Chain A
Amino acid sequence: MAPTPLAPLSLYRERENLGIWEHRGKVAVAGLGCSPTARRWDETPETSVGANTIIAVNKALEDAGISPGAIDGLVVVPHCTGEPWAPRPIPEDFAQAYIPTDDPNDGISSMSADWLVKNMPELSNVTFAMHAPTCMSKAIVVAAQIVGDGEANTVLVVRALNNLSGRYSQWGANALDTAPGRAQWTSPWGWSAAGATYGYLLNKYCRKYGSSHDRMAPFIVNQRRNGLMNPDGFFYQHRPEAITVEDYLAARWLAKPMNLYDADMPIQVSFAYVFTTADRAKDMRQPPVYILNHASNVPKVRSNIQTLDEVEASTDAIARKVFDGSGITANDIDVFNPYDGFTLFTQYYLEGFQWHGVRRGEAHDFWAGDITVEGPHPFSSSGGNTGSGRTRVWLHNDCIQQIRGQAGNRQVNNKAEIAVSGAYTPTDSCWTTWSKYPD
């Protein structure tokens, strides 16, 4: 197999006024699969990134009711977000269980299309493979465009996350006495965590609109509540504990005004979707969920970090792109799952899309009302990363499950015919419009 190419920028719909997506309603999701979750890898082959990914792929195929031979394309996120395993030696039982690739981390802390094909030989008809960077949101966008363009007919979309033992992120450049590369502009002043940016922006937001960090609490509480109704999620499976307003207000600061519950918790888990043409999806097991559009923001940050003006302009822009390409308005979005990892930026999406009429500066008032799935404003029904662990994937799963009517206790009381999800940062995010109907 030739080296898998990284998705070119031309596949992303990042410009404004592109009009209705040329493949609107012609691409559908037919399958969804998740592996079990774990807080950290226990270093056995059975719970590795590789094993998890095979589990997720098989579940997605079973959900779609198709055989592995029906798959002719792969879109895979090779980056697994957690600490790389190398240069540690590969555990012997892992090495015996799986076929290696050129990347010693493959199957442990990365996941390439090459690894998947080598270790799932039953995927014997794969003729197309592409890598997407860093995020399921990007892989979804790429796969939707690939299937729409006819580059492949039935595609597995794969995202794995790893989390090794040890302190998350105090590795690599963060452990150095020097500041090379981009770190020369941040580390000398102790600036490292991305979350600090959103702490700074929340301070700006609260000064501008007259709010306070405390007023985030109802949102965080409800996210965990929704997560505890997600059987695939980490907290449901391993730590079924609600967060109270008091918990939130008493939590320790990470980068004041960002506290422990504003950050998501890294976990280990894999996901797979089956994307196919609308025509093929009709013959598969599940009711198709059609894709009406995909839209992206590419980063445009002038200086060191995003400003509130840039964030508000970016989230206004992504909403316009979603509406323009899907042919919908804010009023048409039944299920809305903007990203929450960190919780401190979710409000910018809510206000940018003006979902349920929420305008700039009004998100905290909205959260003070009823945002439960049972109520009239079921905001972020997935529960997000906050509710189920760091993946940037639950939000998409929820859109699919809500439209199918398979969201279980999370099923919204409102109708669920059109859903929108997207991640990750306000200035760098990819969005998808999902629909029960192709037109």
Chain B
Amino acid sequence: MPRPVPIPDEVSKPFWEAANERRLIVQICPPCDLLQFPPESICPQCNSAENLEWSEVSGRGTIDDYVVIHDSRLRLFVEEQPYNVAIIQLEEDPGIQFFSNLPGTPVDEVPVGASVEVIFVEGAAPGQLIPEWRIVH
């Protein structure tokens, strides 16, 4: 997939740096015991930035459901159509979602509920690894 290359910002920089080390991290607010992804500048529960940390997670999850994109608004993806986009729920907290194209899974043959594990792939240009997910057999 010719993926647009993410441009880290101040809040997301640790996430993308960890991805380049093939580690998946999400934010956590320990007093609230709450994971957060995508990262934000404050915890949505206590509205404070004070206790926000990063926490490495297992990279395991399940396929919640999916769609097949036939008409993408993203120029880089138009030639890849049709393609799967699944919603992955993180093992540690199913409320945390990641997108995945499920590399290796045929279009529209997505096993909803299946277990997946994180992998890291290149985007359209080298230099930034991007988390992806593949089915665990």
Contacts and interface: CB of A to CB of B under 8 A. Distances in A.
Contacts of A252: 70-71
B7 A253 contact: no
B98 A191 contact: no
Contacts of A207: 65, 112
Nearest to A204: B65
Given A170-B73, A174-B73, A302-B95, A255 B67 contact: yes
A184 B99 contact: no
Contact of B7 (A180, A254, A303, A304): A180
B62 to A, nearest CB: 13
B20 interface: no
B96 A303 contact: yes
Given A179-B7, A189-B99, A199-B67, A184 B12 contact: yes
A303 B5 contact: no
B125 A177 contact: yes
Given A207-B112, A303-B96, A196 B85 contact: yes
A256 B4 contact: no
Interface in A172-197: 174-181, 183-193, 196
A38 B1 CA distance: 37
B14 interface: no
Interface string B88-126: 000000011111110000001000100000000001110
Contact of A203 (B67, B71, B74, B125): B67
Contacts of B123: 188
Contacts of B112: 203, 207
Given A184-B8, A184-B12, A256 B70 contact: yes
Nearest to A194: B73
A416 to B, nearest CB: 38
Interface in B12-47: 12, 16, 37-38, 44
Interface string B48-76: 00000000000000001111111111111
A200 interface: yes
Contacts of B135: none
Contact of A304 (B38, B67, B75, B124): B38
- The contact size tier of chain B is 35 or more
Given A180-B7, A193-B73, A200-B87, A303 B67 contact: no
A305 interface: yes
A184 B83 CA distance: 19
A178 B38 CA distance: 18
A207 B110 CA distance: 14
A258 B130 CA distance: 27
A169 interface: yes
Contacts of B80: 190
A256 B68 contact: yes
A204 B97 CA distance: 15
List 8 A-B pairs, minimum CB-CB distance, nearest first. A189-B99, A184-B6, A190-B77, A179-B4, A192-B73, A256-B68, A199-B67, A303-B97
12 contacts: A174-B73, A177-B124, A184-B7, A184-B9, A189-B132, A190-B69, A190-B77, A191-B99, A193-B72, A207-B112, A303-B38, A307-B97
Interface of B: 1, 3-9, 12, 16, 37-38, 44, 64-77, 80, 82-83, 85, 87, 95-101, 108, 112, 123-125, 130, 132
